[in-house]
Chain A
Amino acid sequence: MNKIARVPKKGAGRRLAQKLKELGQQKPPQTLIDKINGDEKKKVAAPTPSASKDVEI
């Protein structure tokens, strides 16, 4: 059985180019960035509650 041959869809190349451009502009994986920057061991500390400035009456 003969395959049905494809015909290009108009604008297909530009659509592909846009998709590839958007993919290429993504931020890299954060874990990799952190490893290279030596940030992977820093952990976000639980915020220390600040001393109350309320005045006791």
Chain B
Amino acid sequence: MQILRDPEFLSKYFHSLEAQPKCLVDTGFLYALAYADDRLFEQANDLLDLLSDHGVIFYINVISRMEFVDLLFRKQVTQGCIELFSNIKHNTQYKGIFNLLKDIRDKDTAARRKSQSYKLDEYRLKKLRENIKFVHELGGWEDFCQKYVGSMLQNEWMMIEEDLGLNFVEVMEGSVSDEITSPLRWKDMVDLMGEHGLRGPDAMILHLFMKSKFEVLITTDSDFKLCLDNQFFTSRNKAVYLLT
């Protein structure tokens, strides 16, 4: 198993393949395409353009499809919070929402200093919803979300997935397809979690990659490298492209 980091090597690897290249990508790659404050933004977009040049077909699994849009939702709501904070008076009677928005703004600022892309966590998302509903009972939360992400998700998301060239692996337990040459089994995925100490989403991607005819896995997660250094995987004719 090769670990690739250089786009030139990846380009040569694609040239060496006999058929149209097919890859699997993870959520980290997709998110890095979408936000300039992600430290891998330029790398990911240059890589996407390389995939376009080579006519590479890339796939994501259903977990990554959900994770991607969920991350966008959280990030866009974060952006909305920062805008809202800049528009409210500091002496507002609603101290709860003021302090929460300030906390979110401060976390975003701190993350940017470390070249990280801050997104609202589940706890703050719930608190934000509660506070906005407290201040603006009717439709406040929905209007807020609609502005920053809702209208895009409702009106443009399918076109965005098409523009990015997303293809989806949708295979039932024990089934095969044109891309999945060995049956996917839930038990095998769970075994991977136990054997290699992987979280569920990562184990699902690895399991899918090993059971497929995808030649390359594109990922931003260096944990895959640690796993793939394992002798079990070295005999396979595959490569991992790691954005770092």
Contact = CB atoms under 8 A, between A and B. Distances in A.
Interface of A: 2, 5-17, 19-21, 23-29, 31-33, 35-38
Contacts of A10: 48-49, 52-53
Nearest to B131: A36
B43 to A, nearest CB: 11
Contact of B143 (A27, A32, A38): A32
B79 A24 contact: yes
Q: Interface residues of A: mostly helix, strand, loop or mixed?
A: helix
A26 B148 contact: yes
Contacts of A13: 33-34, 44-45, 48, 164
Given A13-B44, A35-B136, A37-B92, 15 more contacts: A7-B55, A8-B52, A9-B52, A16-B34, A17-B36, A26-B83, A27-B87, A28-B84, A29-B140, A32-B132, A32-B135, A32-B140, A32-B144, A36-B94, A36-B135
Contacts of B140: 29, 31-32, 35
B167 A12 contact: no
A8 B79 CA distance: 27
A29 to B, nearest CB: 5
Contacts of B80: 24, 28
Interface string B40-82: 0100110011011101111000000000000010011001100
Given A2-B178, A16-B34, A17-B34, A28 B57 contact: no
Interface residues of B, number: 50
A31 B57 CA distance: 45
A45 to B, nearest CB: 21
Contact of B56 (A7, A16, A25, A31): A7
A2 to B, nearest CB: 7
B8 to A, nearest CB: 18
B199 interface: no
A8 B53 CA distance: 9
A17 to B, nearest CB: 5
Nearest to A31: B136
A41 to B, nearest CB: 13
A10 B140 CA distance: 38
A27 to B, nearest CB: 7
